[in-house]
Structure 1
Amino acid sequence: MLKHEKKQYKKVVLAYSGGLDTSTIVPWLKENYGCEVVCFVADVGQEREDLDGIEDKAKASGATKCIVKDLREEFVRDYVYETFKTGAIYEGDYMLGTAIARPVIAKAMVACALEEGADAIAHGATGKGNDQVRFESAVAALAPQLDVIAPWRIWDMQSREELLAYLNERNIPCKTTLKKIYSRDANVLHISTEGGELENTWNPASENVWVWTTDPLKAPDTPETVEITVEKGVVTKINGKDMTPFESISFLNEIGARHGVGRVDITENRLVGMKSRGCYETPGGTIIYKALRAIEQLVLDKNTRLYREHLAIDFAQLVYDGRWFTRLREIMMAAADEIAKDVNGKVVVRLYKGNIDVIQKDSPNSLFNFDFVTFGADQVYDQKDAEGFIRLYSLPSRIRALNEQQRKQ
């Protein structure tokens, strides 16, 4: 079953989901490495049925124990909200729902491995995807003494049929069937869907793809407004009620999903070089993103906002590429935190059939001043001053034109 010489381990911690892949990995690790397997499950706000009975399922596959860690608040507070401060969106559309979950999961899994005295970590990411890089880069940064086992890059099984046959031969129960139309990843920030009809970019995404949000065409005919309070770039209240980060995004998920907010269908560039198509549903996160940018319009001067926009592009690439646990991320985050100090205020958004409209916004740090922009008389701006400003502003163009005129003479 192994493609190269194997090393023996005493104990391996496996990133476990309870699906076909990781259910197969448990007995495979025991047989091929002679090790004890501890399954690690991260609760990052996925569907509750994904966690129901997961400990019994892991033990039925041969695991010694299964550790379920509640990371929901930490995930939103320290990863999602921090990323939102930067404005990061990968390739203009993807709000990094899967990518941003990987560092919090990897960090907790490494801590589990060290506590358990494990000498290796295993994951079920394939050799074609981004997650293998994200997980393994995190382990390298946090606990380089731990080995990483990636079965999909080692074993010779290539299909779901082979994995199911492997489990059947060992009388290991698995509810998964041969028919798996879509590949999905879920947490409190988003649900991603790949596969099925999405493998042909000419095929429109069917309603079977969208599992969280209402079809905007079928969303309520009556719009709904929500007031969001932001302090230093972080949502603290919704409709005047104090909420934790996880509570805030969960509440907005419910409202946004009802109104068909947060759907995107994109073809993105994977880190490993190929393109993939995915449909992402990020209702609450999309609302928060819109609210933060609205306050930034009020409080950031032109050059600071331009810098923040550049930061967003670079930070999105960093997160997507699995470089969270780097010195560069710390430096970029320090800049984002400094910018966010002024991002305070309230925003009212109106949700209607997939759209988010900012209809009210206010901030104690607003740079918008009626006295400066009014067409009426004022005491703070002399319009005559604009003449000298324009002459200096256009000086390079003026000099170039004069030089061209002289050459033609």
Structure 2
Amino acid sequence: MSDTVNRVVLAYSGGLDTSVILKWLQQTYNCEVVTFTADLGQGEELEPARRKAEMAGVRPEHIFIDDLKEEFVRDYVFPMMRANALYEGLYLLGTSIARPLIAKRQIEIAQMVGADAVSHGATGKGNDQVRFELGYYALNPDIKVIAPWREWDLTSRTRLIEFAEAHQIPVSKDKRGEAPFSTDANLLHTSSEGKVLEDPWEEVPEYVFSRTVSPEEAPDTPEIITIDFERGDAVAVNGQGLSPASLLAKLNDYGHRHGIGRLDLVENRFVGMKSRGMYETPGGTILHLAHRAIEQLTLDRGAAHLKDELAPRYAELVYNGFWFSPEREMLQAAIDHSQAKVSGTVRLKLYKGSPHVIGRRSPNSLYSEKVVTFEDDQGAYDQRDAAGFIKLNALRLRLLGRRDR
């Protein structure tokens, strides 16, 4: 290669793709490879990745397996939840929000070990290549990025397996042939795409779902839970204080049991194409609804409506990979300011695939039963004031009506 690379940090899962990439980097760039595996709560045993990296010749001190679950939820998921961010009105951004943290840690490791390049296994068709690389360049503008899927000629799974077998790379038996679908998982969600999911008319087969029981098979009895919030962040479930990652894991358990959080979505990728994916976000779906419920009590109408205008823009920035951009940070500052009084408790009923808010209370509530009551409000609100309010708002409509009559 024309560009000299001495050492590269690879985002490494130990699966077929990144195992092939590891060997390909060693051969193509004649460089030392440092592997980084992030534990984001994907629920998989990660030690096999260490053993595979050692078998590929990676030095033990250059194999990083980092538990990032608490940082992931505290510094990425929770700030996004404060924003009520939904991409295209539906997607809770489970894959998108993990990428900036992985990129950040890769750049930190590159600095620690003196690497001059980083690498990832994202394909040239997807969003993740953009998310990873925007993160890399924001944190180290001079880093070299190697994206094998945009360089090599291994254009099919069959070619990957042939390369692996030729280089004595272990290939799991279930990876032989065409996989039925591809998945990505972390503590917030699991996403599935490709193969059996590519026809948007066909229903998602039940075997694709891994994080939730079928709503039809969920318990016939509803379950009631409470979530406590402080300054916009969930801090307790059923009165039990929990760390961010433990709290999300607890809500995941409830969501799994009641079949909550399934989403069949055809979305617009940043690179221009539409794709069909199946997302499972059990705890995140419950948390999103609960956060909206506590804001209903504690946010002023103007602040609440402005947040609703900002949320789609925030979601688009996260989806497109601009977590480290100044505009996302500006939006975050405004959103976090709005959360100063967003504290209290939400009660939810979980039943057959859906969470339902059935109660909310807050010491900072703006709700006044005395003002809103249909009974005698004892002078808390003078209904005669509404006449002038209506006439002022009707003035332009009356002028238009007189003109156009």
Same fold (TM over 0.5): yes
Partner residue, 2:394: 394
Partner residue, 1:188: 187
| Code of the aligned partner of 1:129 | G
Looking at structure 1, the residues matched to 393 and 48 of structure 2 have their Cα atoms a distance apart, in angstroms, of 68
Q: Which runs of 5+ in 1 are unaligned?
A: none
Is 1:61 aligned to residue 56 of structure 2? yes
The Cα of 1:332 is off from its aligned counterpart by 0.5
Q: Which runs of 5+ in 2 are unaligned?
A: none
1:223-280 CA deviation, whole Å, 9 max, x = no partner?
1111100000001111111100000000010111110000000000000000000000
Partner residue, 1:343: 342
Partner residue, 1:325: 324
Is 1:282 aligned to residue 278 of structure 2? no
Is 1:107 aligned to residue 96 of structure 2? no
| Code of the aligned partner of 2:122 | A
1:324-362 CA deviation, whole Å, 9 max, x = no partner?
111111110000101111111100111000011111100
Partner residue, 1:47: 43
Partner residue, 1:33: 29
Looking at structure 2, the residues matched to 126 and 91 of structure 1 have their Cα atoms a distance apart, in angstroms, of 23
The Cα of 1:402 is off from its aligned counterpart by 1.5
Looking at structure 2, the residues matched to 205 and 328 of structure 1 have their Cα atoms a distance apart, in angstroms, of 37
Check conservation: 1:238, 1:248, Cα contact below 8 A. Answer: yes
The Cα of 1:171 is off from its aligned counterpart by 1.6
Partner residue, 2:263: 264
Check conservation: 1:6, 1:32, Cα contact below 8 A. Answer: no
Looking at structure 2, the residues matched to 297 and 8 of structure 1 have their Cα atoms a distance apart, in angstroms, of 56
Check conservation: 2:14, 2:48, Cα contact below 8 A. Answer: no
- Helix, strand or coil for the counterpart of 1:46? coil
The Cα of 1:376 is off from its aligned counterpart by 2.4
Looking at structure 2, the residues matched to 366 and 310 of structure 1 have their Cα atoms a distance apart, in angstroms, of 22
The Cα of 1:93 is off from its aligned counterpart by 1.0
Counterparts of 1:193-232 in structure 2 under 5 Å? 193-232=192-231
Partner residue, 1:300: 299
| Code of the aligned partner of 1:203 | E
- Helix, strand or coil for the counterpart of 2:364? coil
Looking at structure 2, the residues matched to 73 and 111 of structure 1 have their Cα atoms a distance apart, in angstroms, of 18
Looking at structure 2, the residues matched to 358 and 389 of structure 1 have their Cα atoms a distance apart, in angstroms, of 33
Looking at structure 2, the residues matched to 179 and 47 of structure 1 have their Cα atoms a distance apart, in angstroms, of 23
Partner residue, 1:363: 362
2:10 to 3, 14, 21: 14
The Cα of 1:218 is off from its aligned counterpart by 0.5
1:270-304 CA deviation, whole Å, 9 max, x = no partner?
00000000000000011110110001111122221
| Code of the aligned partner of 1:27 | K
Counterparts of 1:107-256 in structure 2 under 5 Å? 107-175=104-172, 176-256=175-255
1:103-154 CA deviation, whole Å, 9 max, x = no partner?
0111011100110100000111000000101111111110112100000000
Is 1:82 aligned to residue 79 of structure 2? yes
The Cα of 1:379 is off from its aligned counterpart by 1.4
Check conservation: 2:104, 2:135, Cα contact below 8 A. Answer: yes
Size of the aligned set, in residue pairs, is 400
Check conservation: 2:181, 2:194, Cα contact below 8 A. Answer: yes
Looking at structure 2, the residues matched to 130 and 67 of structure 1 have their Cα atoms a distance apart, in angstroms, of 25
The Cα of 1:385 is off from its aligned counterpart by 1.4
- Helix, strand or coil for the counterpart of 2:228? strand
| Code of the aligned partner of 1:226 | I
Structure 1 stretches of 4+ moved >4 Å:
none
The Cα of 1:7 is off from its aligned counterpart by 1.9
Check conservation: 1:26, 1:63, Cα contact below 8 A. Answer: no
Looking at structure 2, the residues matched to 6 and 283 of structure 1 have their Cα atoms a distance apart, in angstroms, of 48
The Cα of 1:61 is off from its aligned counterpart by 2.7
The Cα of 1:52 is off from its aligned counterpart by 3.2
The Cα of 1:156 is off from its aligned counterpart by 1.0
Check conservation: 1:60, 1:173, Cα contact below 8 A. Answer: no
Identity of aligned residues (%): 49
Check conservation: 1:6, 1:33, Cα contact below 8 A. Answer: no
